[in-house]
Amino acid sequence: MTTPEPSPAPAAPPGSALAAFFDRAGMLVVLAVLFLGCSLLVENFFSLANMRGLALAVSMTGMVACTMLFCLASGDFDLSIGSVVACAGVIAAVVMNRTGSIAAGVSTALAFGALVGLANGFIVARLHINALITTLATMQIVRGFGFIVSGGSAVGIGLDGFFGLGNSSFLGLPTPVWITAACFAVFGFILNRTVFGRDTLAVGGNPEAAHLAGIAVARVKIIIFTAQGAMAAFAGIVLASRVTSGQPNTSLGFELEVISACVLGGVSLTGGVGSMAFVIAGVLIMGIVQNAMNLLNVPTFYQYVARGLILLAAVLFDRWKRQRSGGSAG
Amino acid sequence: MNPTPAAPPALAFDRVSMEFPGVKALADVSFDVRAGSVHALMGENGAGKSTLLKILSGAHRPTSGSLRIDGAPRTFLGTADALAAGVAVIYQELHLVPEMTVAENLYLGHLPRKFGLVDRRALAAAARRQLDLIGEAIDPEARLGRLPLAQRQMVEIAKALTRGARIIAFDEPTSSLSDREVRRLFDIIRDLRARGCAVLYVSHRMEEIFEVCDRITILRDGRLVETAELAQLTRGGVVQRMVGRELANIYNYQPRAHRAPGLVVEGLAGPGLAEPVRLEVAAGEILGIFGLVGAGRTELLRLICGATPRTAGRVAIGGKEVDTRSPQSAIAAGVVLCPEDRKKEGIVPVRSVLENLNLSARRRTARFGVWVDESWERRNAGERIEQLRIRTPSARQLIRNLSGGNQQKVILGRWLSETVKVLLLDEPTRGIDVGAKSEIYGIMQQLARDGVVVVMVSSELPEVLGISDRIAVMRQGRLAALVPRAEATEAGLLHLALPEEARRDA
């Protein structure tokens, strides 16, 4: 691509500070407006019980969106996470029932998720197979594996101690919500403040330039996919704890939900652009819309349509914003 | 100058201004392009040439001012509008469909039809006539993607003529053509002129402008500097008006002391090289590598710095063998590369100038190798911007918004943030304006004075001759000759670079 010459020394956009703020904050503004609107207009929305429910509802998406952010920022994505969530829950349940040990169940499931991620990463980064195809394949393999291990039906868990992970509370908030908040903080820090995080964005922005600048591109990608697999497995374990069983057919379409939330917040699908603030905004917007529709008794069928439209609108808005600030560079 | 009062100019820009958020790309630009003339449009990168072409093609609408065609003011709402008014802009990247045939490309959007189906016979005949008009022996049934680039460009011109274009603008049309193809293009442009078309010709190449153009308009920083008959100007005069100052000698070559041993490459083999390469360059020396496209120059540089894995070979710096088998280890050893294709291999376009400057050095400066040292990075970015005079509103600006010359300086700055012992440059000034070129030559010489080994690959003979202490000529994957500066001439280097067969004929 030979972009025609841009302007010599483009000055920072002048004009209203409001516009500049909007450019920076983008979806955070939308989130704030949405929250206010729902609080004022939707009955029962702004209540402690509903807020708790809302936070719990987005906690799983939030967790996995943290690692998906890295995946997208490095220019890839991962479709296998929904299957990993289900399969890890089943594995945790089966191992716990066999051994009677919570630790054994949790660590086996985590190791399994990391292994799936490692395989994804190796195939994408070292064998140079497209991430779409690779993770589409592992998505089906892992889903099948979950059915095989469980024998096709839910596996009830017999260890009461395990249920605390998903069902306990701390300072009035459910434990999964605390875990998600911690993930936001930790992964946000990694992205912004560590060499690994900055390398991730560079790899997504231009892999060839990153390679020539001494970044171990393949290693970065493999680490990201492995973390993604382990995180999805962890979410699966939390889910299994909440529902007290391993469900082989849960979380269908979860991968699209997570990717939608990231993109909604403004993470670029082509890599190189993303921040944790974007992801948090995206996850919360998705969650609030869903929650409000439930409170308003919007039938499920219509909810699908509404969610799709919102995603489309967000992407169009982002494009408009970029064109406006892109100037002549195109 | 008196424009003939009888006929209004074919094309006139009338006080055209164009503003983008924060940038005034064009300010009050007025000039005429006459029918039956070839009009050069020159200016440094960022002077506003592209913006002007985009306005002409209907892609942009000017913030103020207007365009007149044959004296009548016109506003183009889109590219289709401009085409309908007889205006065609032929860009560097051609707007053709490689999977379709030449004939289909020529009539894309208005294919001749019979009973609602494409009339293949009529199409072929019409295409044949059009191609004959520009004197090209191209098979209208050939798939466009199979044609060499030069012929595709001819197809693009023929396409413009099929649409009845009378005002044709060329944007750097010769950047990827061979000498012979350039001749051919010029014949066609002269033919267009003879037929009364108004041709607007945008190029950086001074020789071409003086060869084919009648008049010239020079822009600087979005403003009109001058419109004049080319016969009244000298090359020096044009350059001076473009940069706004006298550039006596853009190379400003000054001899330096060399210290052996600098870089020693031995038995280097890998893809693109026909035989193992041995090369010695002293510290403080600038070695130019000249050769035709495909001679293995880029491959040699990439093998030296580990960007491409090698099959054999050793690299030593200052008498000590170093590991340069991967970019990581090469950078640690002080061997760095500014790649040929800045956009594809050099910059990370969606990240800031600061990010791009610190892309490599942060691995060394991070605390415990993990935590980014932000204050160091800010300071480093500030210093590089100052040192290399990178023109950017701030270190936070996205690098893709900078001009080519400034992007190249950022990549140089990325390496100056490291300890560089060997600087490999692949076509460092391609597509960069004169002012920035001169600055980059200055940086290269400064580094060489500091004892760095500088190796520059270039296709531009004047550049190779102007800046190198010694010139290596590559031919068909081999190092064919090493010529000291004093003995190098354009003709001599070119002769050495030609393949054996061609040299016997010559």
Quick check: is B434 in a domain? yes
SS (H, E, C) B458-477: CCCHHHHHHHCCEEEEEECC
Enclosing H/E stretch for B32 = strand B23-33
Q: What is the mean pLDDT of residues B457-479?
A: 92
Quick check: is B84 in a domain? yes
Checking if the pLDDT of B259 tops 70, the result is: yes
- Inter-chain CB proximity A272 and B362 less than 8 Å: no
Question: CB-based contact (8 Å) between B221 and chain A?
Answer: yes
- Inter-chain CB proximity B346 and A3 less than 8 Å: no
Interface test with A, best of B90, B359, B360, B400 (most A CBs within 10 A): B359
Alpha-carbon radius of gyration of chain B: 25
CA–CA distance from A223 to each of A237, B195, B391 (Å)? 21, 64, 37
Between positions 169 and 228 of A, the ones with CB within 8 A of B are 193-198, 201-202, 205-206, 208-216
Of B243, B272, B296, the residue at which a domain comes to its end is B243
Quick check: is A3 in a domain? no
Quick check: is B1 in a domain? no
Q: Choose between A62 and B504: higher pLDDT.
A: A62
At residue A150, the pLDDT reads 95
**The residue count for chain A:** 330
B277 Cα to chain A: minimum distance (Å): 22
Give per-residue pLDDT as tens, A14-27: 445 666 666 666 77
Enclosing H/E stretch for A273 = none
Give per-residue pLDDT as tens, B200-255: 999 878 888 899 999 999 998 888 999 999 999 888 888 888 877 655 578 888 88
At residue A326, the pLDDT reads 46
- Beta strand B215-220 pairing with B37-42: parallel
Checking if the pLDDT of A268 tops 90, the result is: no
Quick check: is B180 in a domain? yes
Interface test with B, best of A190, A192, A195 (most B CBs within 10 A): A195
B192 with B289, same domain: the answer is no
Question: CB-based contact (8 Å) between A151 and chain B?
Answer: no
Express as a percent the part of chain B with pLDDT over 90.
50
Give per-residue pLDDT as tens, B273-314: 999 999 999 999 999 999 887 789 999 999 999 999 999 999
CA–CA distance from A121 to each of A62, A256, B367 (Å)? 22, 19, 27
All residues of chain B having their beta carbon less than 8 Å from the beta carbon of residue A1 are 93, 343-344
Least-confidence region, from A234-243, B90-99, B416-425: B90-99
SS3 B8: coil
- Inter-chain CB proximity B391 and A9 less than 8 Å: yes
Express as a percent the part of chain B with pLDDT over 70.
95
Checking if the pLDDT of B472 tops 90, the result is: yes
This prediction's pTM: 0.77
Checking if the pLDDT of B101 tops 60, the result is: yes
- Inter-chain CB proximity A14 and B22 less than 8 Å: yes
Enclosing H/E stretch for B446 = helix B434-449
Q: Which DSSP string corresponds to B241-275?
A: HHHTS--S-SS-------EEEEEEEEEEE-TT-SS
At residue A86, what are phi and psi to the nearest 5 degrees? -65, -50
B371 Cα to chain A: minimum distance (Å): 4
Mean pLDDT of chain B, nearest integer: 88
Quick check: is A262 in a domain? yes
Quick check: is A70 in a domain? yes
Distance (Å, rounded) from C-alpha B224 to C-alpha B339? 34
- Beta strand B312-317 pairing with B320-322: antiparallel
Distance (Å, rounded) from C-alpha B333 to C-alpha B336? 9
Q: Choose between B24 and B85: higher pLDDT.
A: B85
B169 with B283, same domain: the answer is no
B312 with B227, same domain: the answer is no
Amino acid at B439: E
User: Looking at chain B, which residue has its C-alpha nearest residue A328?
Assistant: B20
Token pair for B415: 């390496």
At residue A11, the pLDDT reads 40
Distance (Å, rounded) from C-alpha B128 to C-alpha A265? 54
- CATH code of residue B339: 3.40.50.300
Checking if the pLDDT of B103 tops 50, the result is: yes
Quick check: is B193 in a domain? yes
Classify residue B345 by its DSSP letter: I
Q: What is the mean pLDDT of residues A75-86?
A: 96
- Inter-chain CB proximity B392 and A9 less than 8 Å: yes
Quick check: is B250 in a domain? no
All residues of chain A having their beta carbon less than 8 Å from the beta carbon of residue B374 are 193
At residue B351, the pLDDT reads 94
Give per-residue pLDDT as tens, A160-175: 999 999 999 999 899 9
B408 with B462, same domain: the answer is yes
Amino acid at B8: P
CB proximity list for A111: less than 8 A, separation 6 or greater: none
Checking if the pLDDT of A186 tops 50, the result is: yes
- Inter-chain CB proximity A212 and B327 less than 8 Å: yes
At residue A93, the pLDDT reads 97
Confidence of residue A13 (pLDDT cuts 50, 70, 90): very low
Burial class (CB in 10 A: 0-12, 13-18, 19+), A192: middle
Q: What is the mean pLDDT of residues B412-425?
A: 96
B367 with B436, same domain: the answer is yes
- B424, B431 Cβ separation under 8 angstroms: no
- CATH code of residue A304: 1.10.3470
DSSP E strands in B44-187: the ranges are 64-69, 72-74, 87-90, 113-114, 117-118, 167-171
Domain count, chain A: 1
All residues of chain A having their beta carbon less than 8 Å from the beta carbon of residue B434 are none
B237 with B278, same domain: the answer is no
Give per-residue pLDDT as tens, A243-257: 999 999 999 989 999
User: Looking at chain A, which residue has its C-alpha nearest residue B221?
Assistant: A8
Confidence of residue A324 (pLDDT cuts 50, 70, 90): low
- Find the Cα–Cα–Cα–Cα dihedral B146, B150, B152, B153, rounded to 10°: 170
CA–CA distance from A119 to each of A122, A141, B300, B320, B452 (Å)? 5, 12, 35, 40, 44
Quick check: is B249 in a domain? no
Between positions 249 and 308 of A, the ones with CB within 8 A of B are 268, 271-273
Least-confidence region, from A115-129, B70-84, B349-363: B70-84
Quick check: is B437 in a domain? yes
Give per-residue pLDDT as tens, A98-117: 999 999 999 999 999 999 99
Classify residue A13 by its DSSP letter: P
- Inter-chain CB proximity A5 and B404 less than 8 Å: yes
Q: Which of B210, B208, B211, B190 is nearest to B199 (CA)?
A: B190
Amino acid at B46: G
- A276, A261 Cβ separation under 8 angstroms: no
B285 with B432, same domain: the answer is yes
- Inter-chain CB proximity A329 and B339 less than 8 Å: no
- A150, A248 Cβ separation under 8 angstroms: yes
Sheet holding B64-69, edge to edge: B23-33, B11-20, B64-69, B72-74
Name the residue range of residue A58's domain: 47-319
All residues of chain B having their beta carbon less than 8 Å from the beta carbon of residue A12 are 22, 393-394, 397
Of residues B337, B346, B348, nearest to A202 (C-beta): B348
Mean pLDDT of chain A, nearest integer: 89
Confidence of residue A328 (pLDDT cuts 50, 70, 90): very low
B137 with B22, same domain: the answer is yes
B349: preceding bond cis by omega (within 30 degrees):
no
Distance (Å, rounded) from C-alpha A195 to C-alpha A270? 21
All residues of chain B having their beta carbon less than 8 Å from the beta carbon of residue A193 are 371-372, 374
Distance (Å, rounded) from C-alpha A129 to C-alpha A127? 6
Domain count, chain B: 2
**The residue count for chain B:** 506
Q: At what angle do helices A254-265 and A300-326 cross, to 10 degrees?
A: 30
Least-confidence region, from A13-17, A308-312, B25-29: A13-17
Of B243, B272, B299, the residue at which a domain comes to its end is B243
Quick check: is A32 in a domain? no
Name the residue range of residue B175's domain: 11-243
Sheet holding B453-457, edge to edge: B335-338, B422-426, B453-457, B286-291, B470-475, B478-484
